[in-house]
Structures are given as C-alpha cells and as structure tokens.
Amino acid sequence: IKRVTTHVIQELKNKGEKISALTAYDYSMARVVDAAGVELILVGDSASNVMAGHETTLPITLDQMIYHASAVVRAVKRALVVVDLPFGSYQGNSSEALRSAIRIMKEAGAHAVKLEGGLEVRESVLRILSAGVPVMGHLGLTPQSIYKFGTYAVRAKEETEAQKLLDDAQMLQDIGCFSIVLEKIPAALTKQVSETLTIPTIGIGAGPYADGQILVIHDLLGINKEFKPRFLRRYADLHTIMTNAISHYVDDVKSREFPNEQEAY
C-alpha cells in the first residue's frame, strides 16, 4: 500500500477530493481506522477526555501522548499519523516546543505534530518546522484555551475574531504548515479560509466547505452516549451494541450457559 504523506494530503486538495480524518489512541482501534481507508489519523489530546476521563484536554502529559501515539504508529500501514502536542509542551518557549516535537517524532514514530493557536505560537511552529517536522495548525475552538474562552460554543462569529482567524491561517500557511484544523466556526468563515489558503483545511463542526473532515472516533461510533453536539453524526450505536453484548455475557455466566462443552478443554 502506498503511504499517505503530507504531499498526498496536499494533492487531494489540489484535485478537489475531500480528505477523511479520524482520531485514534490505541493499537486495536487504529488498525481498524487505517484499514477502513481514512487518510489522516490524529492522536488527539482528546485522549485526555475519551481515554482518561478528564473534563478537559489540559491534564494529559507529553509522556502519555507518546504512549498513545506509539501504539497507533505500530498499527498504521497507510494513513498519515499526526500527534497533538499537549498543553504546556510548546507554548511560550520555542526550544521546549522543538524538544517536545522531537520526542514525539523519535519515541512514537509520528509523521507530523499538531498544535493550537496562531500568532501566539508562531515562534514555536517556526522552530519545529526548521527541524524538518511537518506541523498542522489548529484554529477556532482550541480546547487547550478553554479556561480563557469559558465555553465550548462556536468561535469567530464576530468580525474581529474572524479576521484574526483569517490572519492566523494565512500566517501558518506562509511559515510552512501543511494543513490547518478549523474547529467549531461558522461554515461561511471555513469557506473563506479554505478558498483563500492553498494548504488543506480539516474541519470539525466547521461545516461542509473545509477540504477535509475529522471526528473523534468514539463519537462517530456512538460509544459515548451523552455527547451530542449538533455537528456530530453518529455512524453506529456501539454503546447499545456493547451494552447488550456485555449484559448477555453476564447472564450466560450466571446461568452457566457460558462456557459450554465445546468451549472447554
């Protein structure tokens, strides 16, 4: 199989073909996601929520991200594997940002890193790029700044914030980012950014005009029953399927139906 590189991701935009992306955090899930044909797998710091049960993405550490990422990299044969730089591993200090990115590339075997923000993280992005590490940007709703925003509501609805997002996107492209995630912004702004930039945009809750789409795999599969934002489409109801399977197993154990003779040695 031909590996998806950042160049392949760019060619998809050039051809007008939409890019499919999903998160994964472990070996078994990443194998399925990769084999199903997704082009870009993000080891998101959403692992903090989805895998560890934290309320925000802030607590997850660089060591923990490397643990998740190395498992995903071992599973993936085709997709581009992008790994989030966690909160505190790149902001404000470009040397530390470079060190963090190098650890992710070296210890996990990732293909690229992603980090949140625009002008504020410009020096960090430049430094990482100068080491030959591909960088994906992330603008709009940036969950590592949740305590600044206060809510997970739609971002950049007003002109000044929209203009800052446009400027940040242009800057990230100019310094060499290969792609940008746009999270929870109005569809019209996504359209404007995606038409202005030559690099691909990957949207989540950002409408149909992004060059690609990304979702958290647990959300797409319906594993979390409670999380129901408007942007989310559930492609399966694994919560029900898993609950039924497990309660069936409990019943069979209690009733001595499992294991049967064929299942014994």
The verdict on whether 158 is a catalytic residue reads no
Stretch touching Na ion by CB under 5 A, among 37-45, 74-82, 149-157, 169-177 = 37-45
**Per-residue DSSP letter, 40:** E
For the CB of residue 112, give the shortest distance to Na ion in the complex, in Å.
13
Residue with CB nearest ligand KIV?
44
**Per-residue DSSP letter, 4:** P
The response to whether 45 counts as a known ligand-binding position is yes
Strands (E), the chain: 19-23, 40-43, 80-84, 112-114, 135-140, 179-183, 201-204, 212-215
Token duo for residue 108: 């996990």
The response to whether 159 counts as a known ligand-binding position is no
CA distances from 232 to 190, 229, 257 (A): 17, 6, 39
**Per-residue DSSP letter, 85:** P
Is residue 23 part of the contact set for ligand KIV (CB under 6 A)? yes
For the CB of residue 177, give the shortest distance to ligand KIV in the complex, in Å.
14
Is residue 205 part of the contact set for ligand KIV (CB under 6 A)? no
Instruction: Tell which one of 34, 39, 84, 219 touches Na ion (CB under 5 A).
Output: 84
Is residue 200 part of the contact set for ligand KIV (CB under 6 A)? no
216 binds, among Na ion, ligand KIV, none (CB under 5 to 8 A by kind): ligand KIV
Is residue 46 part of the contact set for ligand KIV (CB under 6 A)? yes
Q: What residues contact 8, with CB distance under 8 A and at least 6 apart?
A: 2, 39, 80
- DSSP β-bridge partners for residue 19: 212
Q: Cα separation of 47 and 22, whole Å? A: 13
Asked whether the beta carbons of 41 and 220 are under 8 A apart, the reply is no
The response to whether 2 counts as a known ligand-binding position is no
Among the listed residues 183, 226, 261, 263, the single catalytic one is 183
Is residue 45 part of the contact set for Na ion (CB under 5 A)? yes
At 210, is the secondary structure helix, strand, or coil?
Answer: coil
> How many CA atoms within 13 Å lie on the side-chain side of 133?
30
Is residue 214 part of the contact set for ligand KIV (CB under 6 A)? yes
Site mask, ligand KIV, residues 73-112, x = CB under 6 A?
A: -----------x----------------------------
Catalytic residue set: 183
Which residues make up the interface to Na ion (CB under 5 A)? 44-45, 84
